Structures are given as C-alpha cells and as structure tokens.
Amino acid sequence: MGRVELGANAASKPELVGERGRDARRKRLLVFIVAYHAESTIDSVLARIPNELTHDFDVEVLIIDDGSRDATFSRADENRQYSGRTFPIHLLYNPINLGYGGNQKVGYHYAIANGFDIVALVHGDGQYAPECLPNLVQPIARGEAEAVFGSRMMEPRAALKGGMPLYKYVGNKILTFSQNTLLGTSLSEFHSGYRLYAVDALKKVPFALNTDDFHFDTEIIIQFVFAKLRIKELPIPTYYGDEICRVNGIKYAANVMIQTALARSQSFRVWYDPKYDVGEEEDVPGNDHYRPKLTYPSPHRFAVDLIPVGARVLDVGCGPGYIADALKKKGCSVTGVDKFALARDVVLDGFIRWELNLGFPDVSLDDYDYVLLLDVIEHLHDPERFVAGLAEKAGAAPHVTIIASTANVASCRCVSTYCSACSITASGESSTGRTHGCSHSQRSGRCSSATASSRRFEKVRRHHFPWSSAMAHCPGCFLRSPTC
C-alpha cells in the first residue's frame, strides 16, 4: 500500500490558489470511507470517486471496515488491487466493532498522523454521493472554512424528493431547529454524515473524548462551534436506497438533545465535560481567569520557594504561565504544558500545547529536575490514568522531584497511586464541585502498609492555607506531604 510521490510531471499540474497566493505544495486529501456490511455497495462507492480530484490534490483513500461479518473487506481488497486507480487505496479492519463514532476517531487520527491537510468522510453504503467531493472540498482548500457539510435540507423539500422518509424529514427539521436554538447557530442540518474537515482544525478539538455512537456527529459540531471554527454548508442530493438503517431513531434523538443541552449548560457553568472545553487559539479562554497565588501562603508560593535557583522545571497545566514566569524570574529554566496559549506577556524557555485529558504528554523527564502539578489533578476527566502515565515517565528519571497540590481530597487517591508504597493523607474540600470517589479509610489515615514506608517521607513544615489543600513531595516516591 505505497504512496504516490510528487514527481516532475505531477508538480507541473495546476494547483489550487488560496487567499494567500499559490500554495507551495499541493494539499493532501484523504477520502475516508467508513464501512460496515457494505459488500454490495463498496465497489460502487469507490468507482464514483472522481478522478478529477487528483488534478488539484494528492489523493489517497482509506477504507476502515468496522468489524463487518460479510465480504466487505474482501471486496474492498479486490478493488484496492485494481490497477486502473489514479489514487492509492489503504484498507484497515477493526477486529471488533468500534461504532460509528469510534470508527471516525481511528480515521481522523490516521489523517493527523500521516500529515494530510483535508479529510473527507464518505459512507460505504453509498447514501452520500462521492461525485460531490470536488465541489465540497473547495471552501477548505481556499481557506474559507475549517469544515464543510453536505446538506440535504438546503433546497426546500429536495430531501423528500430524494426518498427521505417523511418521519425522518420531520425529525431532522425538529432536531435541527432545537439545536440551532440552544447553540445560537443557523445550520440547515445537524444530521448529515457527509463531512469534510481541515486536519489542522481536528487537532484543535478533543474529538477522541466523543462518543463512539452515532451522535458523535453532533458532539464534533458542538466542539467546532465552541472553538469558533468556521462551518460551511453546501447542498447535496439525497439518496435513499435499500440499505439497512442501523440507527435507533429514538435513542439517537434523545442523545443529540441531551448532549446539546448539556453543552449549552456548560456555558452557564452548571455542568462540565472536558470534550466541550474548547476555545479560540488566538485568545486564552479557559485559563485567563486563573491568577497566581504568590502574595500569601499558598501552594503556588510554597512551590516557588521550594524550587532552587537554576532548576529545570516542567510546569504541567501551567495555565497562563504566571507561576512559570515567577520561576523564570528566579533563574530557573521552565517549560510549560497546557491546552491553551500562554498569556501574551509570558515568555518561557519552552511550551508544549497539550490536552491533559488525553494523558500525560510524551515528554522525557530526563531534561528536568522538577515537575509541577499545581491544582491540576482534580480538573482531569481521568486523573488515575494521567497519574499512571506520569509514574511511567518518572520511573525512567529517578532524579526528578514532583510537586503536586490539589484542593480536592479525593484527588490525593490519584496521586497515591503513583506510589503504592506510600499513602498520602490529607484533608480537603473540593472547590470544583467535581470529585472522584474516596473511601473513609482513604480519607482518615495511612493504610497499614504505610507504617514502614512513612520513614521515607521527608519531614517539612506544615502549611495551613486559607483553604484545605494537599501538597505532596517524597524523596523516594517524589511526593512531599505537610501531613506527614
């Protein structure tokens, strides 16, 4: 399954011209076909992909068979080997069914990992016309949008003329109207599966946190809307044949409305889900309201005082970067890690843009003396998994000291998983309204195995802050606790 490389002849072909002039290279387009029990339609779908796409793009096709039990994979493989194709076809098979949303996640990660510029989602059942691809891809190629949706509802009653059942037409209209009302959008249709995305835009939203079910499509629309990424709709023909509909309409409608309502409520801070915690790259949304607590006794003040001059520091969840900036002024070398950009007046030695809900970043700790986790753990969707990833990294760098603070006593359990030999004891109350369960025995004292291991703790002075907080650091496990 080799790739087509640009040669002298290919380079001389006409290129798309965007707003900033002629592109230095042709854009790479991935036509991503999701397939499930599509043995009777996959050949037709592949044959209908216009060869003219290769005039303007480096085109590759990816088919992911989502655990079909029919001959979808073998038929697609036979087609892949057909020598008449003007573009390469890659074929993957999920040994277990990942679901409609789960299959999309695999394809979008593939597009990101392999350096594509645009990914076009096409269905293997032929419901969405591949012939429309040359028209749909243009707004993204010209830089006019980050997403393009093919809409069956833009032309009045065209969907009904194309065979859409009346109950689906009415349901689509009602759901779309309700979602537009809640989100303040004006889309003609939320429920088309014909979509094209700029791959750089996919990198900006945590689509990996979305559902594996059919309402993945609604969740990624909400993410694009909240991130203020541009969505353009273009009309497409409607086709309903004898394909089997695998969507439970009642369940689907309930899921999309629940997610839309919850996402809307997040803007009022009455509910939180990290997958909707997105914002514009140019601003510092989500962390610009954080302010350093350096002028009074606090975990921030304690950490800055504890770290010696000249230390190499990795500040994970650095927010706008004010704590890191204080360490810089102290003479430390500091690299920040956060989902959002640093404040405009903060300049560090390095910055890694990373969504912490995806786990601990792939960073070697050999180049650092200290790792800061100040009031971070309690905000994570899966703190246990995050801390486990940190433990794996720190195991290869025993010289590193990790300093962590949390206002949520239950999050101490997550830190203690980092070192099974030690039990962190702290009192605290959540200031976030979101806790991870902690038993009474975990809250009230050390476990029985900690008696001997408690000797490993470095005794430090107790710090009593205006709020309950746990500070942790141990020379053996790299955790220190004022409660020791």
Residue 452 has pLDDT above 50, yes or no: no
Over the chain, what is the mean pLDDT? 78
Q: What is the mean pLDDT of residues 63-71?
A: 95
Q: Which residue has the higher pLDDT, 469 or 402?
A: 402
Contacts of 179 (CB under 8 A, 6+ apart): 185, 187, 190, 218, 256, 257, 260
122/110 Cα distance (integer angstroms): 15
Q: Is the pLDDT of residue 433 over 60?
A: no
What pLDDT was estimated at residue 436? 33
Q: pLDDT at position 256, please?
A: 94
Reply yes or no on whether the pLDDT at 450 is more than 70: no
- Provide the pLDDT confidence category of residue 288 given band limits of 50, 70 and 90: low
| 55 burial via Cβ count (<10 Å: 0-12, 13-18, 19+) | middle
Band (pLDDT 50/70/90 cuts) for residue 458 is very low
Angle at 240 between CA 234 and CA 243, to 5 degrees: 125
The pLDDT score that the predictor gives to residue 82 is 75
Residue 24 has pLDDT above 80, yes or no: no
Please name the residue that has the structure tokens 């989902």. Answer: 339
Identify the top-confidence range among 9-18, 20-29, 414-423: 20-29
Residues 6 or more apart whose Cβ sits within 8 Å of residue 301: 293, 294, 295
> In the chain, which residues fall in CATH 3.90.550.10?
8-276
Mean local confidence (pLDDT), 185-195: 94
Is-contact 44 37, C-beta < 8 A? no
What percentage of the chain reaches a pLDDT higher than 90? 52
**Of 54-58, 255-259, 300-304, 454-458, which range is least confident?**
454-458
Domain with CATH 3.40.50.720 in the chain: 299-444+453-472
Most confident of 144-148, 284-288, 399-403: 144-148
- Model confidence at 60: pLDDT above 50: yes
Question: Model confidence at 245, in pLDDT bands (50, 70, 90)?
Answer: low
State yes or no: pLDDT of 264 exceeds 80: yes
Q: What backbone phi and psi angles, to 5 degrees, belong to 471?
A: -110, 135
Residue 195, pLDDT above cutoff 80: yes
* pLDDT value for 431: 32
Distance between CA atoms of 179 and 184, rounded to whole angstroms?
8
**pLDDT for the residue 248:** 77
pLDDT of 168 over the 80 cut: yes
**What is the crossing angle of helices 216-226 and 166-183, to 10°?**
30
CA 154 to chain centre: 30
Judge whether 379 and 432 are in contact, CB under 8 Å. yes
More confident: 480 or 29: 29
pLDDT exceeds cutoff 90 at 236 = yes
Task: For the domain covering 299-444+453-472, report its CATH number.
Answer: 3.40.50.720
Superfamily of 8-276 according to CATH: Spore Coat Polysaccharide Biosynthesis Protein SpsA; Chain A (3.90.550.10)
On the question of pLDDT at 260 being above 90, the answer is yes
287: confidence class by pLDDT, cuts 50, 70, 90 = low
Give the mean model confidence (pLDDT) for residues 97-110: 96
Residues 223-239: what's their mean pLDDT? 93
**pLDDT (average), residues 195-214:** 95
Using one digit for the tens of pLDDT, what is the confidence trace for 106-115? 999 999 999 9
pLDDT the model gives residue 89: 94
Identify the pLDDT of residue 242: 61
